[in-house]
Amino acid sequence: MSRSRAMEAVAAPAAARDPSVRELADMQLVRRAQVSADAEAFAELVRRHQARVRGMLLRLCGGDGALADDLAQDVFLRAFRALPRFERRAEFGTWLYRIAYNVFLNHTTRTRRFDPISEGTERRRPAPPASHPDRGDVRRDLERAIAQLPVPYRAAVVLYYLRDVSYAEMAEILGLPLGTVKTHLHRARARLREIMLAWDETDGPEEAAR
Amino acid sequence: MTAQHRALRAFLRGCDVPARVLAHDPTGASWLPAELRRWALDDPAARRTIQRFVAAELALSQAPAPFDDAPFVATVVERAQRMPRAAAGVDLRATILFAAHLLAVVCAAYVLSWAVPDAPAAADGAVERVLASAQGAAAEAWGLLPGLQVHLAWGVAASALGVGWLVARRVRLPHTLRA
């Protein structure tokens, strides 16, 4: 499919698209994409899930939008390639998040930025960021604070705030026992708030790190 | 930092208030302990801390990426159409498990042929005699097999098959293979 045809299929006004595709549930779209390699069904799946997958990766990548979008494309392409083997035992979204987390882990491994939880993580002060975050931009501060968490904590807190992901699904996505996920989440949220509150109580992250 | 500031920070660090409640009640009238709230009303720094906390929690709950992004979807669809897909039914996991299973059976067959060179004939004879016996009890069949080596070899073969079957049904492969 050429770029222009892909754009036509995707960017056409809602009324011009096949209405049946928009009304189908995820699993029905998956079935269509599996059985007949229906590009429109796959496009609808991408359209529905791109915001959450990109949002998840954006936060995992510490707010690096370009990197998150590259990884998100990789996620959907892997999903497309593996779609015939998707057994529909899990929700399609859960399956996608798992691929997204694996893609992110592969990326961090390749770039050697993986930071497993180490002894004393809870007691350490946050590392000072490269520059002072804009005090007025809560969202950016938040992304910087999330980026300071160890990767498993970061993943737990990011998935938790996606809202449509249950604890059981988080455990499945992260490949961890349910109890570990809850512990990670509890510590991650406390740590995140600690970082943010420390920034708030001082003149900035540099002061908080002292 | 005063004791009240510390108490406020400790509360905010551990509290679990849904985002919709924070959105409706950003000042904490319904979720902040009464004593802290009374104090916070008169303390600008405390009010700012609460404001920042609420803003951060609400920002966390909002989707950080655009809800609809047609160019992104088009790029993905276009790239997807150019790439090969896995054939239905050909699963990397299944392929690996099948290969491992096959290897186990081959190893078992090798051990069997080494331990009992005339095993096929002995087994055939044993099976015939067991089938011929209307009351063919397990104990009798057991006694028909020649020697301990045969028991051992058949045990290895059965174990290989059993392990292969168990692995195929239960093993959890790494995420990268399951994706």
Give the residue, A135 or B58, on which the prediction is more confident: B58
Per-residue pLDDT of chain A (210 residues; tens, 9 = 90+): 455 555 555 555 444 456 678 888 888 898 888 887 788 899 999 999 998 899 899 989 988 889 999 999 999 999 998 888 887 778 898 999 999 999 999 998 888 655 555 444 444 444 444 344 444 477 888 888 898 899 999 999 999 887 678 899 999 999 999 999 999 999 999 899 888 888 766 655 444 444
Q: Total structural domains in chain A?
A: 2
**Cβ–Cβ gap A10/B61 under 8 Å:** no
Could you list the residue range(s) of the whole structural domain that residue A105 is in? 19-114
What's residue A8's pLDDT?
Answer: 55
Residues of A in contact with B65 (CB under 8 A): 50-52, 54-55, 58, 68
Gyration radius (Cα) of chain B, Å: 35
Q: Are residues A103 and A145 in the same domain?
A: no
What is the percentage of chain B residues whose pLDDT exceeds 70? Answer: 61
Q: Are residues A107 and A134 in the same domain?
A: no
The answer to whether residues A50 and B65 touch, using CB atoms and an 8 Å cutoff, is: yes
Give the CATH number for residue A137.
Answer: 1.10.10.10
Query: Least CA distance to B44: which residue of chain A?
Result: A201
Per residue, the 3-state secondary structure of B112-179, as one string, reads HHHHCCCHHHHHHHHHHHHHHCCCCCHHHHHHHCCHHHHHHHHHHHHHHHHHHHHHHHHCCCCHHHHC
**Cβ–Cβ gap B13/A197 under 8 Å:** yes
Structure tokens at A131: 């520059």
Residue A152 domain-assigned (yes or no): yes
What's residue A210's pLDDT?
Answer: 47
Residues of B in contact with A52 (CB under 8 A): 63, 65
Q: Are residues A110 and A127 in the same domain?
A: no
Q: How close, in Å, is residue A73 to chain B by CA atoms?
A: 6
Residue A10 domain-assigned (yes or no): no
Domain boundary among A95, A114, A133: A114
Q: What is the mean pLDDT of residues B119-130?
A: 64
Q: Which residue has the tokens 């990011």?
A: A158
Residue A12 domain-assigned (yes or no): no
Q: Are residues A30 and A104 in the same domain?
A: yes
Q: Positive or negative CA dihedral for A109, A189, A140, A92?
A: positive
Which distant-in-sequence residues (6+ apart) come within 8 Å of A44 by Cβ?
A21, A22, A24, A29
- Cite the DSSP H helix spans in A148-177: 151-160, 167-174
Tell me which residue of A189, A186, A191 sits closest to A125, measured CA to CA: A191
Q: B 89-128 residues with CB below 8 A of A?
A: 89, 91
Q: Are residues A134 and A84 in the same domain?
A: no
Q: How close, in Å, is residue A43 to chain B by CA atoms?
A: 6
Q: B 46-85 residues with CB below 8 A of A?
A: 48-49, 52-53, 55-56, 59-61, 63-85
The answer to whether residues B153 and B111 touch, using CB atoms and an 8 Å cutoff, is: yes
**Cβ–Cβ gap B179/A139 under 8 Å:** no
Q: Are residues A151 and A96 in the same domain?
A: no
Q: Are residues A86 and A46 in the same domain?
A: yes
Of A52, A84, A99, the CB nearest to B63: A52
Domain boundary among A114, A145, A179: A114
Q: Are residues A40 and A127 in the same domain?
A: no
Mapping DSSP to helix (H, G, I), strand (E, B) and coil, where does residue A57 land?
A: helix
Structure tokens at A105: 């882990």
Residues recorded for chain B: 179
B20 touches chain A (CB under 8 A): no
Q: Which residue has the tokens 């392929």?
A: B95
Domain boundary among A96, A114, A132: A114
Which distant-in-sequence residues (6+ apart) come within 8 Å of B166 by Cβ?
none
Structure tokens at A122: 């809870």
**Cβ–Cβ gap A81/B85 under 8 Å:** yes
The answer on pLDDT for B144 being more than 60 is no
**Cβ–Cβ gap B78/A34 under 8 Å:** no
What is the signed CA dihedral for B168, B174, B178, B179, rounded to 10 degrees? -170
Q: Which of B50-54, B91-95, B158-162 has the lowest mean pLDDT?
A: B91-95
Q: Which of B48-57, B151-160, B164-173 has the lowest mean pLDDT?
A: B164-173
Residues of A in contact with B6 (CB under 8 A): none
**Cβ–Cβ gap A10/B1 under 8 Å:** no
